[in-house]
């Protein structure tokens, strides 16, 4: 996301993108579509994430702007959302 300045699938290059995604370019997610969203967005990041660097999280957070109703940073890493045992952050 840092290089492309866009929220997109991981870009493996044309040949591998074609194999993985079925097209040569990594899919780009249009964050502008969220601007008319009426559903509250909670932006959750983890302190120990080695997959998504803080600059990428900040860039996305800035793009979403006022659409984010709450920002939370929790302990753990990228997989914490899928396998973490402590989900109290989700219930706050």
Q: What is the pLDDT of residue 21?
A: 92
User: Structure pTM?
Assistant: 0.62
Q: Which of 23, 18, 78, 21 is nearest to 51 (CA)?
A: 78
Q: What is the pLDDT of residue 63?
A: 83
- Per-residue pLDDT band at 69 (split at 50, 70, 90): confident
Neighbours of 68 (CB within 10 A): 16
Largest CA distance in the chain: 44
- 24-51 mean pLDDT: 83
């Amino acid at each position: 996301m840092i290089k492309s300045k866009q929220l997109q699938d991981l870009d493996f290059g044309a040949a591998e993108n074609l194999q993985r995604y079925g097209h040569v370019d990594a899919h780009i997610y249009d964050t502008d579509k969220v601007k008319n969203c009426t559903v509250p967005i909670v932006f959750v990041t983890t302190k120990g994430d080695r997959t998504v660097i803080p600059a990428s999280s900040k860039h996305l957070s800035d793009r979403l702007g006022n659409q984010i109703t709450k920002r939370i940073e929790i302990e753990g890493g990228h997989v914490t959302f899928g396998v973490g045992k402590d989900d109290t952050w989700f219930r706050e």
